[in-house]
Amino acid sequence: MKLSGKVAVITGGATGIGKATAQLFIENGAKVVIADVSNQAENTAQELTKIGGEVIFVKTDVSKEVEIKNLVEETVKHFGKLDIMVANAGIGHPAALIHEVTIDRWQQMLDINLTGVFLSNKYGITQMQNQGTGGTIVNVSSIMGHVGKTNLFPYTAAKAGVTNLTRSLGVTYAKEGIRVNAVCPGFVDTPILSSADEEKRSLLISAHPIGRLGRAEEIASTILFLASEDSSFMVGANLVVDGGYTAQ
């Protein structure tokens, strides 16, 4: 029960890594707020409630400041505090040459994958400061925040932003007892890859020395580690969990 008595917000919690993290947090004693733009998250919340969790769903578009502010306010209204913010919400982008990337698509990627993390951190940290009890932030970045990828410009730019945002936030707020770290997954078998055909999946698998894609539960375990006291001496870290992808 590594999170006994803790209250956690998980953005992008309807499916994939977010859902796996919500379930693992509940199993470790946390009360969870699932935030997602999709109403599917309400079904996820109900499903997790049936296994004994204290879970609520707050519909949230992470790219909109007023909705992130509301998310934190609703969390405190319902559970009385905020201890953990997991900024997981994000979208993918198919490979495209630079001249094929529209400004609207570029902006959408930054709005959700980078600004959404910034806003989640901003309001999460502000609430933790007001409480005066410290807390933990876990941002979900990507190995694409560390390496280049052919024709994947908006996504890599956004995730690189998350990676360095995490470092700066970590060293800024550590003295207040607020630890900010990130997990950087490799390619994980989640709905974001559901549209990939067998040829693309085979290529992705072969790019990982471990010989397979990651599982959402494996990333959730790392998020639990970063959110708990097991990682009490970690600040501003970007923990790569990628089956050896970036070690090559």
Active site residues: 155
Assigned token pair, 106 = 């570029």
DSSP letter for 113, please. Answer: I
CB count within 10 Å of CB 38 equals 14
Residue closest to 216 by CA, chosen among 85, 21, 1, 83: 21
Instruction: Give the residue among 13, 1, 5 at the shortest CA–CA distance from 220.
Output: 13
CB-CB contact of 243 with 214 (8 Å): yes
Contacts of 157 (CB under 8 A, 6+ apart): 109, 110
Q: Which residues pair with 31 in a beta bridge?
A: 7
Query: CA-CA distance, 3 to 7, in Å (whole number)?
Result: 8
